[in-house]
Structure 1
Amino acid sequence: MLLMLAEPGMPLDRAVSFRRSVAGAESNVAQGLARLGHWTRWIGRVGDDPAGEAVLRELRADGVDVSGVEMDPQAPTGLLLRDSHPQRAIDVQYYRSGSAASLLSPDQIRVEALEGARVVHVSGITPMLSESAARATRALIERARQVGAAVSFDPNVRRKIGTDHEWIRVVGPLLREADLVIAGEDELELLLGGGFEESAKALLTLGHARTVVVKRRDHSAVAVGRQGQCTRAPFSVPVVDPVGAGDAFAAGWLSAWLREAGPEQALAEAACVASLVVQAPADTDGLPTAAARDRTLAALLRGTDSVHR
């Protein structure tokens, strides 16, 4: 979507100046991984309009392959309006009913677009956009299996999109199809009906999951695998804008997983990338390069000089 971000500190209904940016769960992760040095492709739909051009231009600028994107000449690019405040509740307004993205269909999910991929990441937002988008998500998972790619899934529950029952019905079953699950503690409670330990165990024993990463309410994170679990406390940093932290965390975790780092290192990198994003406005401004991540992580863990001289 195109993101219109209100001037810092101003409530949405009083803001007169807005900054244009781009937002979207999967595209945020794609940008995060691209900046960290990984080849990424984003598959989606935007309108054949100025907003769609702006979205694709920003993704290309970060090195994201957009060859799998369709531009719709009739349906518009989705729009997101929000304000930004580190303490006050943030007001987020979505305008995507009838958008190009909501018309995603299984026909767009082509096997050749997934060939060579090691991991395919999708969020619960996409199947909640429409019935055709839900079918496209199921097709994506099936075709990822065909090419041997791992499936990464983040529920990313947004209650403005649907009721709790709709989330449970549409997104709950998809959790069981994922190889890597990255979810909030409250999301697992909603979708699976149990505590995070019980939910993680169920996904590991009854589903496809190899690892379940749980973002806890106290902002710590737990990685649960078949060999045990490990925990990472959050890094204490000043927060400018908390939106986008979850997608940044997912990008940081997947980057470490792709490099075959262990779960403790992966949690540390994920927390580091998230901590950088919340210190900058918008969803993607703070996403680091691999070098910036490593410098920051060294400073956070070992107290090395945080100034890059």
Structure 2
Amino acid sequence: MNDIEVLTLGEAMRLLLAEPGVALRRAHTFQASVAGAEANVSVGLARLGHRVRWLSRVGDDSSGAAVLSALRAEGVDVSDVEVDPAGFTGLLLRDDNPGRGIDVQYHRAGSAACSLSADYVRAAGLGGARLVLVSGITAMLSLSARDAVLALFELARAEGATIAFDPNVRLKLASPAHWRETVGPLLHQADLVFAGEDELELLDASAAELIGKGVGTVVVKQRDKVARAVTAEYEWSQETLVTHVVDPVGAGDALTSGYLSSWLRGGSPAEALLAGAVSAALVVGTRTDLEGLPDRAELARTSAALGGGEEVHR
């Protein structure tokens, strides 16, 4: 496990995506896939050539088997994922019409991932990873899952790994006050934060405040679709590269995976923002959270095309 670059911790669910353009309550056919912030970033980074290990718990059910099979097929190390014989794997149902509000329904309360614990994380260890990534969703699953996140942060600090954190606020999980109480303090423990402008406001935080308290870089996804990378010394910005939207869900995780891939290879914040913007543009042009995540060749080809290079590679 010493060759692992990135370790992620979080829940993955079986995704059932309604037929294109049809409201969830009227849909008769569904496309099955996998969804979950950390799982999405894990797949994104694996496709871009990084060695990624995902920690989680799934139920001993068909959905859990499907999740493990999907991530394993992408080259993500799932060898330390716990399979709970008495638990179940979370389920997410949604539609994908970008012209109206998207209907998302979670069936995850009490899932196997809700029993993530600090003991599990400590037993699994970092395996030499130089970067760990987790989202606020994981911390909000349960008290023991929040302890698991804190244990991951402790291990990362002890071993000198960089901590990347995305609050990923989902108000169907809990009230704004609960998010502020549980996830707000975690922002200050990260080295690299990815957050929407609205999420920072809800959590009573700002890029300047986080930088002032020791966060190295804050990547802000603004309402106007501009992404900013803010450090104590400088600020970079990247306009959206989206030209066509099929399914807007998954753009944030794609931006994170593209950014982190460039960061892992020593890219500048400007280069990392561009890689993130290209990844996000590719994802929203397809269905599901995973379908459009690029590999390195696709990322380079699309970056060249968007920069005015040849669009057809013969």
TM-score bracket relative to the smaller structure: over 0.9
Does structure 2 retain, via aligned residues, the 8 Å contact 1:32–1:252? yes
Aligned partner of 1:252 among 252, 258, 262? 258
**Where in structure 1 do 4 or more consecutive aligned residues deviate above 4 Å?**
none
Determine the structure 2 residue equivalent to 1:200.
207
SS at match of 2:54: coil
AA partner of residue 156 (structure 1):
N
Whole-angstrom CA distance in 1 between matches of 2:244 and 2:123: 43
Does structure 2 retain, via aligned residues, the 8 Å contact 1:115–1:147? no
AA partner of residue 120 (structure 2):
Q
Say whether 1:135 aligns with 2:147. yes
User: Please, what is the CA RMSD of the aligned residues?
Assistant: 1.0
Contiguous gaps of at least 5 residues in structure 1: 194-198
Superposed, 1:186-225 pairs within 5 Å as 186-193=198-205, 199-207=206-214, 209-225=215-231
Determine the structure 2 residue equivalent to 1:237.
243
Question: CA shift at 1:112, angstroms?
Answer: 5.3
SS at match of 2:133: strand
Does structure 2 retain, via aligned residues, the 8 Å contact 1:111–1:147? no
Say whether 1:37 aligns with 2:42. no
Whole-angstrom CA distance in 2 between matches of 1:166 and 1:102: 17
SS at match of 1:109: helix
SS at match of 2:25: coil
How many equivalent residue pairs? 302
Whole-angstrom CA distance in 1 between matches of 2:99 and 2:144: 38
Aligned partner of 1:115 among 118, 127, 131? 127
Determine the structure 1 residue equivalent to 2:109.
97
Superposed, 1:147-296 pairs within 5 Å as 147-193=159-205, 199-207=206-214, 209-296=215-302
Whole-angstrom CA distance in 1 between matches of 2:227 and 2:28: 38
Contiguous gaps of at least 5 residues in structure 2: 1-12
Does structure 2 retain, via aligned residues, the 8 Å contact 1:2–1:79? yes
Q: Normalising to structure 1: TM-score of the pair?
A: 0.96
Whole-angstrom CA distance in 1 between matches of 2:273 and 2:122: 32
Say whether 1:308 aligns with 2:296. no
Question: Equivalent pairs: percent with the same residue?
Answer: 57
SS at match of 2:203: helix
Q: Normalising to structure 2: TM-score of the pair?
A: 0.94
Deviations 1:203-245 (A, max 9, x none): 11213x1111000000100100122101111013100000000
